[in-house]
Amino acid sequence: MGRDSRFVVLYGSETGTAQDVAEQIGREGKRRHFVPLVLAMDDYSITQLINETLVIFVCATTGQGDEPENMKNFWRFLLKKNLPIDSLKSLHFAVLGLGDSSYIKFNFVAKKLNKRLCQLGGTQLLIPGLADDQHDLGPDGVVIPWLKDLWKVLMDLHPLPPDLSIIDDSVIPEPKYKVKFMDSNMNNLLQVKKTNESNKRFRSRIISNQRVTAEDHFQDVRLIKFDCNFGGVDYSPGDVFMIQPENLEENVEEFLQLFDISPNTMFTVEQNDANIPIPNLLPCPCTFLLCAQIYWDIQSIPRKYVFELLSHFSQSELEKEKLQEFCTPEGQQDLFDYCNRPRRNIIEVLQDFPDATKNLPIEYLFDLIPPIKPRAFSIASSSLATPNQVHLLVAVVEYKTRLHKPRKGLCSTWLSRQKSDDRVTVGFRKGTFKFPRNDLPVILVGPGTGVAPFRSFVHERATKTLCNNVLFFGCRSKSKDFYCADEWQQLMDKGVVRVFTAFSRDQENKIYVQTRMMEQSKLIWELIYQDNAMFFLAGNAKQMPVDVLESLHRIAQKEGTMTEQEAQDYIKNLKNQQRIQLETWS
């Protein structure tokens, strides 16, 4: 080729968005005659990084500025102090961060990674891209122009030889996988394969699934209890329970109707590219029905590549024109208004472009539709208080957009429909909270389902008779959504915890957790300043964390007689010491 064609794209993400973007970069690299290797960071042999000349990193930020699960080992290795400062002197790199500016540590991981790669001698191709979910166009508002700049830099650095040119957009890209249909009935083999894959995690039996909000309350919140008597399973307060959901029955039926394929049609999936492995969660062989039930995330919101791919298969000029328009820079606002703003899912997009859908080969469904990712929930129980059980507080997500059908959260809705003795595929993961193991006082602020990890921690402390716990809980109404009210009363009667409640809608003036904090400013200051208490906050990432931290600043000024700057420095120091910890989500 007359140039080094090796091109590595590494991603770290909890949700799969970074993987989607990394695969997009890989596809665009192929059009420019690079040979891309696209992997999760922890699947890449990091000792090879010293030999690489060109790597693009795509990473999200989780928790309190933490790296995603599939990036942890990679990041731990990069932080080794004995790495020479010129380790990566041959490397040209670029970092693209995917974040949400409503979080306090916006794109923190991307910024840290970029800095560390520079420290180790890497050459930065361009400034990090910091995509923001809050942008008017979503992440694409940053991703699209950043990638345009990236390709300009890369093509200047690695120009094409005279006998090659960039492959035109009109050429249909090769699918990720080959699909081979099978004639023979292999149901037994299929069942064995499905069971073996599931055993890489655990199959947990549901003990009970109880609604903990009033029947007439707008929000359905569930306390779901799981039997986790797997042997050797242990978890701590703050840890996370991973749920592998399945698609909703009505969505599967709607999806299957779009294709002229029998649901029982059996096929195998094979690699088309040695660098793209077959996912472990994909049963192989598989039926079209099973794939629609447990593998394809048919409720997900399509990325721009979906429209690009569909445009190749539509024979309707009207459809093709609209699909191509959505892929142009000028069409991004229209695409966002059509797809992201109303949260239109893949099923609905396929319905809106029936000619493209009718002509779509089945193998391209693996390019169009991402796999269902496991969902993370903070564990709300203690393994000491309730051995061999895990409890979750699950808010069932349902909301309206301008589309006729209400939007429903895949995992929460699916979980809400599970009955006692149903089986669910689950797993465990360490959480971001680092609770004290000794008898240090704690202040816990957990509005809504943010109280889940604190229920776990307080129950655990109750088994050890550690009583210096203060909880600020907020919800709308004492009679509608005060989760586990009887439990908290029992724990208060035993002296395990002091609970201060804020029921925002039970009176004319709205009362929030920060209101109660200011009322208890003297107690909070004594616990933090005199007794070295730790402060934990969990809940929605929008305005609440900002307001709570602002209340802490005001308490430091009021009770500690500090200036505004002194209070800011004091709170910042507490964060650095991990005496203030936050876990928020959007």
Domain residue limits, the chain:
6-157, 201-243+374-429, 249-368, 442-584
pLDDT confidence band for 543 (50 / 70 / 90):
confident
Average pLDDT over residues 375-386: 95
- What percentage of the chain reaches a pLDDT higher than 70? 96
In three-state secondary structure terms, 211 is strand
Q: Is the per-residue pLDDT at 42 higher than 90?
A: yes
- Across the range 516-531, mean pLDDT stands at 96
Average pLDDT, the chain: 91
CA distances 101 to 97, 140, 291, 491, 568, Å, are 12, 14, 35, 37, 21
Query: Residue 61 annotated as binding?
Result: yes
411 is in an annotated binding site: yes
Pairing of strands 497-503, 469-475: parallel
Alpha-carbon gap, residue 247 to 509, rounded angstroms:
42
- The pLDDT assigned to 540 comes to 82
Least confident segment among 3-17, 182-196, 316-330, 499-513: 182-196
Give the pLDDT band of residue 339 (cuts 50, 70, 90).
very high
Query: What is the fold of 249-368?
Result: NADPH-cytochrome p450 Reductase; Chain A, domain 3 (1.20.990)
Count of Cβ atoms closer than 10 Å to residue 416 Cβ: 20
Pairing of strands 389-395, 221-227: antiparallel
Amino acid at the residue 177:
Y
Rounded average pLDDT over 514-529: 96
Which of 97-101, 209-213, 263-267, 273-277 is least confident? 273-277
CA angle (305 as vertex; 303, 311 as ends), nearest 5: 125
CA distance 187 to 285: 9
Mean pLDDT over residues 549-557, rounded? 96
Pairing state between β 54-60 and 6-12: parallel
Q: Are 453 and 238 contacting, i.e. CB atoms less than 8 angstroms apart?
A: yes
Mean predicted confidence (pLDDT) in 251-271: 94
Phi, psi of 27 (to 5 degrees): -65, -45
3 is in an annotated binding site: no
Matching residue, tokens 């004639």: 183
Give the strand pairing for 177-182 and 266-271.
Answer: antiparallel
User: What's the token pair of residue 276?
Assistant: 């793209």
The b-or-e profile of 25-64 (16+ CB within 10 A means b, else e) is bbbbbbebbbebbbbbbbebeeeebbebebbbbbbbbbbb
The total of other beta-carbon atoms located within 10 Å of residue 80's CB is 8
Determine if residue 568 is labeled as part of a ligand binding site: no
Residue 2 has pLDDT above 50, yes or no: no
107 known member of a binding site = yes
- Phi, psi angles (nearest 5°) of residue 376: -105, 135
Asked whether residue 43 is marked as a ligand-binding residue, the answer is: no
Q: Is 63 annotated as a binding residue?
A: yes
Answer with the residue of higher pLDDT: 472 or 281: 472
> 15: annotated binding-site residue?
yes
Is 111 annotated in a binding site? The answer is no
Tell me the average pLDDT across 548-552: 95
DSSP state of 3: S
Long-range contacts of 211-214 (CB under 8 A, 24+ apart): 212/393, 212/481, 212/483, 212/484, 213/480, 213/481, 213/483, 214/479, 214/480, 214/481
pLDDT top residue among 230 and 288: 288
The per-residue pLDDT for 199 is 43
pLDDT for 397 equals: 95
Please give the radius of gyration of the chain, using alpha carbons only, rounded to the nearest integer: 26
Please tell me whether 472 is known to bind a ligand.
no
Q: What pLDDT, on a 0 to 100 scale, did the predictor assign at position 286? A: 92
Distance CA 156, CA 29 (A): 14
Q: DSSP string covering 485-527, please?
A: HHHHHHHHHTTSEEEEEEETTSSSS---HHHHHHHTHHHHHII
Least Cα distance to 538 among 442, 398, 412 occurs for: 442
- Residues 54 and 7: beta-carbon distance below 8 Å: yes
Q: Please, are residues 379 and 392 in contact by the beta-carbon 8 Å criterion?
A: yes
Report whether 584 belongs to an annotated binding site: no
For the range 154-161, what are the long-range contacts, defined as Cβ-Cβ under 8 Å and sequence gap of 24 or more?
A: 154/32, 154/54, 154/125, 155/32, 157/92, 157/125, 158/3, 158/4, 158/5, 158/34, 158/54, 159/3, 160/3, 160/32, 160/33, 161/1, 161/2, 161/3
94 annotated ligand binder: no
Q: Mean per-residue pLDDT for 104-127? A: 94
201 is in an annotated binding site: no
Architecture of domain 442-584: 3-Layer(aba) Sandwich (3.40)
- Residue 472: name the closest of 493, 497, 495, 500 by CA: 500
Write the DSSP symbol of residue 329. Answer: G
**505 annotated as belonging to a binding site for a ligand:** yes
What the block records as the tokens of 581 is 């910890």
Bond before 374 cis per omega within 30 degrees? no
Question: Annotation-wise, does 119 bind a ligand?
Answer: no
**Residue 13 annotated as binding site:** yes
Q: H helices of 267-345, where?
A: 288-294, 304-311, 317-326, 332-335
Residue type, 551: S
Please tell us whether the domain made up of 6-157 is placed in CATH 3.40.50.360. Answer: yes
CA 531 centroid distance within chain: 36
Annotated ligand binding at 563? The verdict is no
Report, at the CATH architecture level, how domain 201-243+374-429 is classified: Beta Barrel (2.40)
State yes or no: pLDDT of 311 exceeds 50: yes
* 6-157 and 442-584 agree in CATH topology: yes
Q: Is 70 annotated as a binding residue?
A: no
When pLDDT is cut at 50, 70 and 90, the band that residue 190 belongs to is: very low
Task: Tell me: is residue 193 an annotated ligand-binding position.
Answer: no
Residue 150: half-sphere exposure toward Cβ, Cα within 13 Å: 27
Rounded to an integer, the average pLDDT of 38-57 is 93
Q: Which of 353, 256, 261, 341 is nearest to 296 (CA)?
A: 256
Answer yes or no: is 98 a known binding residue. Answer: yes
SS3 content of the chain, % helix, strand, coil (to 5): 35, 20, 40
Decide: pTM greater than 0.75.
yes
User: Does 465 appear as a known binding residue?
Assistant: no
140 SS3 class: helix
